Amino acid sequence: MATDTPQPTDSAVRAALATVNDPEIHRPITDLGMVKSVEIAPDGSVAVGIYLTVQGCPMRDTIHSEVTAAVRAVPGVSGVRVELDVMSDAQRKELATTLRGGQAEREVPFAQPGSLTRVYCVASGKGGVGKSSVTVNLAAALAARGQKVGVVDADIYGHSVPRMLGTDGTPTQVENMIMPPSAHGVKVISIGMFTPGNAPVVWRGPMLHRALQQFLADVYWGDLDVLLLDLPPGTGDIAISVAQLVPNAEILVVTTPQQAAAEVAERAGSIAVQTHQKIVGVVENMSGLPCPHCDEMVDVFGSGGGQRVADGLTRTTGAEVPVLGTIPIDVRLREGGDEGKPVVLSDPDSPAGTALRTIADALGGRQRGLSGLSLGITPRNKF
């Protein structure tokens, strides 16, 4: 006796399509206006038309396969054909406005009073103290514990975050919005994604400010729990621009133990006095080398630098600045940066991995800082 096969319905197919997220925007394609058409034949075969945001979309194969799989799972579907089209200029503008919550004009979402995103500026007084390694591993650790995390590689001249995070994706532009690539659950944007090869960036202050503004306002970050900015060393243009663009951002100071580095790190953290920002804490990197033979800690770069910085900033700012953690020298931390595999993921129980995860737990458990909302700084450059 033959069994009647149920005929798939339009509503069932569209419900299945609602389970497919755009791989870059991370929202259902049905909410983004990407479903062009649904046609169901008498034999149960389904033809689905899908709009891609841009011509040559790098995720077209992923979208094609996920749409096919979702529709094929609908009862009664005997076959699936997916036809890809490209949005018109008007559709892309409508999408950009939708993603901005109806706001057509550029604004930095993290600076808005209603933002719940915690913004941390990872700063150092000088280069070579492992600031970017700390940033990348904190981001990966926070993402691993279920938080929505983004990283801005604000070190325009010395950008290194894409390699260290292991992302080689290219940002996709939808109208004047940029969809950031992601790796290990972390969204990331860097000037290195827009420059050919290893070409240097030779810019002055106004262009640095404009680039940072675009990274914050024109990139579609979604609803982040935490945004980390990997700042260049020192107290130059970028540090001042961050204070102007995201006045509620908090500063995380990275230093190494030796006196020379500590003095410079304290100087970098003291910018908070002028910008009215809060210093969330100090991280001491390269705090010692565990001897492979006797397990004793060898103070290659001295000791106590992190605490000296914290004590000095406490006196300068009048607020308690804690040492959030000390990270030992660990070859696996360096290897992870070279291979794009953060040590908090590749070897989380290593000495460096454990220390970094502890610091991430301290940051991830905090509420959004509200200091500096009325900064009163007048931008030096107008665009």
Residue 336 has φ and ψ, to the nearest 5°, of -65, -40
**Measured CA distances, 141 to 25, 197, 359 (Å):** 22, 29, 9
Q: What is the dihedral of CA 232, 236, 239, 240, to 10 degrees?
A: -160
What single-letter amino acid sits at 36? K
CB contact at 8 A, 323 and 269: no
Q: Is 44 annotated as a binding residue?
A: no
Task: Convert 107-144 to b/e letters by CB count within 10 Å (16 or more is b).
Answer: ebbbbeeebebbbbbbbbbbeebbbbbbbbbbbbbbbb
Instruction: List, in sequence order, the alpha helices (H) in the chain.
Output: 10-17, 60-72, 89-99, 131-144, 161-165, 205-217, 237-245, 259-269, 271-275, 305-317, 331-339, 343-346, 351-364
Helix (H, G, I), strand (E, B) or coil at 342: coil
Enclosing H/E stretch for 2: none
Q: Is 372 annotated as a binding residue?
A: no
Q: Is 132 annotated as a binding residue?
A: yes
Q: In residues, how long is the chain?
A: 383
Q: Is 126 annotated as a binding residue?
A: yes
C-alpha span between 25 and 42 (Å, rounded): 34
What single-letter amino acid sits at 211? A
Q: Is 192 annotated as a binding residue?
A: no
Task: Convert 67-90 to b/e letters by CB count within 10 Å (16 or more is b).
Answer: bbebbeebeebeebebebeebeee
340 Cβ contact partners less than 8 Å away, ≥ 6 residues apart: 163, 164, 165, 166, 167, 183
Angle formed by the axes of helices 351-364 and 331-339, nearest 10°: 70
Query: Which amino acids are annotated as binding site for ATP, given as ranges?
Result: 125-132
Query: Which amino acids are annotated as binding site, given as ranges?
Result: 125-132
